[in-house]
Structure 1
Amino acid sequence: MDKVIKTGICSFGMSGQVFHAPFLYVNPGFEFTAVVERSKNIARQRYPDVKVYTTVEDMIADPELELIVVNTPNYTHFDYVTKALEAGKNVVVEKPFTVTAAEADTLIALASSKKLLLSVYHNRRYDSDFKIVRQVISDGLLGDILEAEIHYDRFKEELSYKKHKEGGLPGTGALYDLGSHLIDQALTLFGMPQSLWADIRIIRRDSVVDDYFELVLYYDTLRVRLKCSYLIREALPSYQLHGRAGSFIKTKSDIQEAQLQRGLLPNSPDWGAEQPHEWGLLHTEINGKVVKQFLPGTNGNYMDYYNGIYAALVNNAPNPVAPQDASNVIRVIEAAFKSSREGKVISL
Structure 2
Amino acid sequence: MYMVREDTTTENSDEMQKIRTALIGYGSVGEKMHAPLITVCPDLELVAVVERRQEKSKEKYPSINIFRSLEDLLEADAADLIVIVTPNEFHYPQAKMALEAGKHVVVDKPVTIHSDEAKELKRIAEAKGLILSVFQNRRWDGDIRTIQKILAEGILGRIVHFESHFDRFRPQLAENWREKDVPGNGITYDLGTHLIDQAVMLFGKPDWIYAEIFKQRTGAIADDFFDITLMFGGIKARLTASVLSKAPVPKFLVLGEKGTYIKYGLDVQEKAFKAGELPEGLNWGLEDAEAWGELHLENTYMTYETERGDYRLFYQNIADAILKKHTLRVKIEEAITVLEIIEAAFLSNREGRRISFKVN
| 2:91 pairs with 1:80 | no
Residue in 2 that maps onto 1:268 = 281
Instruction: Give the one of 159, 163, 167 matched to 2:180.
Output: 167
Q: State how far apart, in whole Å, the 1-side matches of 2:275 and 2:210 are.
A: 39
**Gap runs ≥5 in structure 1:** none
Residue in 1 that maps onto 2:352 = 343
How far residue 235 of structure 1 moved from its aligned partner, in angstroms, is: 2.9
Residue in 1 that maps onto 2:191 = 178
How far residue 38 of structure 1 moved from its aligned partner, in angstroms, is: 2.1
Determine helix, strand or coil for the equivalent of 2:323: helix
| 2:320 pairs with 1:311 | yes
Q: State how far apart, in whole Å, the 1-side matches of 2:21 and 2:223 are.
A: 34
| 2:342 pairs with 1:333 | yes
Residue in 2 that maps onto 1:58 = 72
Q: State how far apart, in whole Å, the 2-side matches of 1:254 and 1:301 are.
A: 10
Q: State how far apart, in whole Å, the 2-side matches of 1:71 and 1:61 are.
A: 20
Q: Map 1:167-246 onto structure 2 (within 5 A).
A: 167-246=180-259
Residue in 2 that maps onto 1:133 = 147
| 2:305 pairs with 1:291 | no
Q: State how far apart, in whole Å, the 1-side matches of 2:175 and 2:310 are.
A: 29
Q: State how far apart, in whole Å, the 1-side matches of 2:75 and 2:265 are.
A: 40
| 2:26 pairs with 1:12 | yes
Q: State how far apart, in whole Å, the 2-side matches of 1:220 and 1:26 are.
A: 41
| 2:124 pairs with 1:115 | no
- Decide whether the 8 Å contact of 2:48 with 2:78 is kept in 1: no
Q: State how far apart, in whole Å, the 2-side matches of 1:38 and 1:131 are.
A: 38
Q: State how far apart, in whole Å, the 2-side matches of 1:56 and 1:154 are.
A: 34
- Decide whether the 8 Å contact of 2:143 with 2:309 is kept in 1: yes
Q: Deviations over 1:284-311 (max 9, x none)?
A: 25xxxx3311011122111000111111
Residue in 2 that maps onto 1:251 = 264
**Alignment-mate amino acid for residue 328 of structure 1:** T
**Structure 1 residues 327-336 or 59-68, which shifts more?**
59-68
**Alignment-mate amino acid for residue 344 of structure 2:** A
Q: State how far apart, in whole Å, the 2-side matches of 1:86 and 1:58 are.
A: 15
Q: State how far apart, in whole Å, the 1-side matches of 2:289 and 2:308 are.
A: 12
Q: Deviations over 1:161-194 (max 9, x none)?
A: 11x2111211110100110010001101111101
- Decide whether the 8 Å contact of 1:201 with 1:212 is kept in 2: yes
Q: State how far apart, in whole Å, the 2-side matches of 1:194 and 1:70 are.
A: 32
How far residue 315 of structure 1 moved from its aligned partner, in angstroms, is: 2.3
**Alignment-mate amino acid for residue 220 of structure 2:** S
Q: State how far apart, in whole Å, the 2-side matches of 1:62 and 1:267 are.
A: 32
Q: State how far apart, in whole Å, the 2-side matches of 1:61 and 1:258 are.
A: 37
TM-score, normalised via structure 2 length = 0.93
Q: State how far apart, in whole Å, the 2-side matches of 1:284 and 1:316 are.
A: 41
Determine helix, strand or coil for the equivalent of 1:315: coil
Instruction: Give the one of 80, 90, 98 matched to 2:112.
Output: 98
Determine helix, strand or coil for the equivalent of 1:241: strand
**Alignment-mate amino acid for residue 90 of structure 1:** H
Q: State how far apart, in whole Å, the 2-side matches of 1:271 and 1:339 are.
A: 40
- Decide whether the 8 Å contact of 1:129 with 1:251 is kept in 2: no
TM-score, normalised via structure 1 length = 0.96
- Decide whether the 8 Å contact of 1:253 with 1:278 is kept in 2: no
Q: Deviations over 1:83-131 (max 9, x none)?
A: 0000000000000111111111111111101110000000000111111
Q: State how far apart, in whole Å, the 1-side matches of 2:248 and 2:56 are.
A: 35
Q: Deviations over 1:9-36 (max 9, x none)?
A: 0011112112211011122211000001
Tell me the C-alpha RMSD between the 2 structures.
Answer: 1.1
Q: Deviations over 1:132-157 (max 9, x none)?
A: 11111111111111001000011111
Regions of 4+ moved over 4 Å: none
- Decide whether the 8 Å contact of 1:60 with 1:68 is kept in 2: no
Q: Map 1:134-149 onto structure 2 (within 5 A).
A: 134-149=148-163
**Gap runs ≥5 in structure 2:** 1-13
Determine helix, strand or coil for the equivalent of 2:26: coil
Q: State how far apart, in whole Å, the 2-side matches of 1:48 and 1:60 are.
A: 21
Q: State how far apart, in whole Å, the 1-side matches of 2:101 and 2:246 are.
A: 47
Q: State how far apart, in whole Å, the 2-side matches of 1:138 and 1:344 are.
A: 33
Q: State how far apart, in whole Å, the 2-side matches of 1:200 and 1:259 are.
A: 30
Percent pairwise identity: 38
